[in-house]
Amino acid sequence: MAHLCFQVLSTSFFTPKPQIPVLLSPGAACIKSIHQYRYLYLKAMQDDKFSTPPCDESKVRVPHVLTVAGSDSGGGAGIQADIKACAARGVYCSTVITAVTAQNTVGVQGVNIVPEDFVAEQLRSVLSDMPPNVVKTGMLPSTGIVKTLCQSLKEFPVQALVVDPVMVSTSGHTLAGPSILDSFREELLPMADIVTPNLKEASALLGGVPLETIADMRSAAKAIHDIGPRNVLVKGGDLPASLDAVDVFYDGISSNFLRSLGINWNDFYEFRSSRIMTPNTHGTGCTLASTVAAELAKGSQMLSAVKVAKRYVEAVLSYSKNIAIGGGCQGPMDHLLKLKSNVERRPFDPCDLFLYAVTDSRMNKKWGRSIVDAVKAAIEGGASIIQLREKEVETGDFLEAAKACLKICRVHGVPLLINDRIDVALASDADGVHIGQSDMPAHVARALLGPDKIIGVSCKTPEHAQQAWIDGADYIGSGGVYPTNTKENNKTIGLDGLKTVCVSSKLPVVAIGGIGMSNAQAVMRLGVPNLKGVAVVSALFDRECVMTETRKLLEVLKESTKIAK
Ligand SMILES: Cc1ncc(COP(=O)(O)OP(=O)(O)O)c(N)n1
Ligand SMILES: Cc1ncsc1CCOP(=O)(O)O
Ligand SMILES: [Mg+2]
């Protein structure tokens, strides 16, 4: 938004700090200085940029992207991809539709361009009433629409403009012809904060120069930058001989400017990632640009917005690589992977607490087995839930073990929880945590872990149990029921204490502490309905054969339920 930034200064959204000269009509010649001032200005404003306007403190500001693009009936690209990407990134998305396309996974069957004056009306409706932080453009199918958009943005300035110069569909259909190039070069690109061409689009913007190598991409990024956008991302997905996917990011003006101040600055960045082999790549360009826009709307700096967007697209590609939608050769991605993966994870079932195996690194070391082998054996023996309780393991090793155990647990449909370490649970994407009274409060753990993860809390009293319920826990662990050497200085509550907690608890309960083959039946025979099972450490892991011990204990537990009936 090269020549809009000075109008932005006068809006209530920003509280101007530095004194910045007002340049009202920037030709190409003054773009550099405008960018330089804007760079300084945005740096100075970084902290204030997204503060709520002082006049309306009660309202919660929602990051907002307006996408100006074409509709894809197949739902994989265009407006539909933009809405989904923004939603996945937690950003509100409004839309101005420039064209309606009839397309599917086979190709584009038809294009109906929205009349220019109706594009103008949509722009006015959104920009005048619900100003977005960032505008992102996709398919702009006529010179008139480009001009209308530029005019609207001059009238209603926004914080950033992300231009995805869509020209040809992935199936080869022309979506914006060569006549559009002049208006891109003369009007739209000089206003852009970032432009994200693929190789074909970069070549077209530069009059058809061949782009075949990463060196070519660098030259192209520089040449496009000279047209006026503040940043350029040339996407190398179509590089012929490349195995890796390499995109080149160029931020020339600020680097020259910073160098002139004696600050060393790298103006080229290469984003390199291994290729994900999948036919489901339709909509990657729209998704990347929308995610950059969404991250900018949330307040990110440009380079980190691009980094996050690249990572997000890779994650979506990888998640969607085997999905089957449509009969054509290029399928769409599934943007809402997070929702999906949570849905696919089996929700917590209190019956999972029946035979709860809790690991102990000291015991496993003593018997010469790894955590992973211990978990495998417990699952083979019939454990219905696993907790990694690794008090003596380094964080990095704990994380690796958690990831490896998670793979095994997922295959068997057995939930995996982490004792104490919410960071390890988050980093490994484990199914949840078990926390004690002196660990982080359960409501804080819930806020960190989100609604879908399992949280267990240790409770010795009805008050603890009541608090665990209020805090949003899923189950409670109650004990030590019997004396144990596994946990030092742990008060024993006995069967009576356990019963008191169970009776008062609104949550399912698992008993813990000194439980094994000899006393598991006595525990289960308490007969309180929400006592769902026993949690065991030494009876399984301080033994030579974990699988055999688990099997035997499972039989005892099954037997006890029969007797209880
Ligand atoms: C199922 C279950 N119940 C209780 C505990 C004990 O947790 P905590 O009180 O945090 O003690 P440590 O296990 O951290 O020593 C548990 N781990 N699992
Ligand atoms: C972690 C814990 N919390 C209460 S008792 C206990 C230890 C249980 O270990 P064991 O099953 O070996 O008695
Ligand atoms: Mg603990």
Ligand 1 pocket member 490 (CB < 6 A): no
Q: Which of 98, 137, 143, 284 is the catalytic position? A: 284
Q: How many CB atoms lie within 10 A of CB 550?
A: 24
- The pLDDT, as a whole number, for residue 31 is 38
- The pLDDT, as a whole number, for residue 303 is 86
* ipTM of model: 0.97
Ligand 1 pocket member 358 (CB < 6 A): yes
Residues 6+ apart with CB under 8 A from 315: 337
Of the candidates 448, 504, 439, the residue with the CA atom closest to the CA atom of residue 472? 448
- The pLDDT, as a whole number, for residue 21 is 31
- The pLDDT, as a whole number, for residue 462 is 95
Active site residue 436: no
**503 within 8 A of 528, measured Cβ to Cβ:** yes
| Distance from residue 457's CA to the centre of ligand 1 (Å) | 8
pLDDT digits (tens, 9 = 90+) for 462-481: 999 999 998 889 999 999 99
Distance separating alpha carbons of residues 433 and 128, to the nearest angstrom = 48
For the chain, state the CA radius of gyration.
30
- The pLDDT, as a whole number, for residue 12 is 27
Which ligand 1 atom is nearest residue 479's CA? 4
- The pLDDT, as a whole number, for residue 121 is 98
Instruction: Report the relative pairing of strands 268-274 and 244-250 from DSSP bridges.
Output: antiparallel
254-279 burial code (b ≥16 CB/10 A, e <16): bbebbeeeeeeeebeeebeeeebebe
| Distance from residue 391's CA to the centre of ligand 3 (Å) | 9
| Distance from residue 267's CA to the centre of ligand 2 (Å) | 57
Give residue for tokens 């967007």. Answer: 309
- The pLDDT, as a whole number, for residue 516 is 98
Q: Which of 360, 362, 490 to mutate to test the pocket of ligand 2 (most atoms within 8 A of CB)?
A: 490
CA angle 87-230-97, nearest 5°?
Answer: 40
Q: Which of 419, 459, 464, 476 to mutate to test the pocket of ligand 1 (most atoms within 8 A of CB)?
A: 419
Ligand 1 pocket member 156 (CB < 6 A): no
Closest-CA residue, ligand 2 atom 6, reads: 513
Active site residue 15: no
Q: Which of 84, 235, 453, 460 is the catalytic position? A: 235
| Distance from residue 435's CA to the centre of ligand 1 (Å) | 6
* Beta-bridge partners for 96: 68
Q: Which of 285, 331, 381, 477 is the catalytic position? A: 285
| Distance from residue 435's CA to the centre of ligand 3 (Å) | 5
Distance separating alpha carbons of residues 11 and 243, to the nearest angstrom = 47
- The pLDDT, as a whole number, for residue 270 is 87
Active site residue 174: no
Query: Which stretches in the chain have pLDDT values below 50?
Result: 1-54, 343, 564-565
- The pLDDT, as a whole number, for residue 437 is 96
Ligand nearest to the CA of 352: 1
Which ligand 2 atom is nearest residue 436's CA? 3
Assessment of whether the complete model's pTM goes beyond 0.80: no
Pocket of ligand 2 (CB under 6 A): 479-480, 484, 486-487, 490, 512-515, 536-539
pLDDT digits (tens, 9 = 90+) for 394-413: 999 999 999 999 999 988 88
Active site residue 376: no
Domains of the chain: 5-46 (no CATH), 64-341 (3.40.1190.20), 347-564 (3.20.20.70)
Starting from the edge strand earliest in sequence, which strands make up the sheet with 194-195, in order? Answer: 108-113, 92-103, 64-72, 134-137, 160-163, 194-195, 231-235, 244-250, 268-274
Active site residue 281: yes
| Distance from residue 299's CA to the centre of ligand 2 (Å) | 47
Ligand 1 pocket member 420 (CB < 6 A): yes
Q: Which of 75, 138, 283, 432 is the catalytic position? A: 283
Taking the alpha carbons at both ends of the chain, their separation in whole angstroms is 74
Which ligand 2 atom is nearest residue 479's CA? 4
| Distance from residue 374's CA to the centre of ligand 2 (Å) | 17
Strand intervals (E) in 86-199: 92-103, 108-113, 134-137, 160-163, 194-195
- The pLDDT, as a whole number, for residue 17 is 27
> How much of the chain, in percent, has pLDDT values that exceed 90?
63
Active site residue 55: no
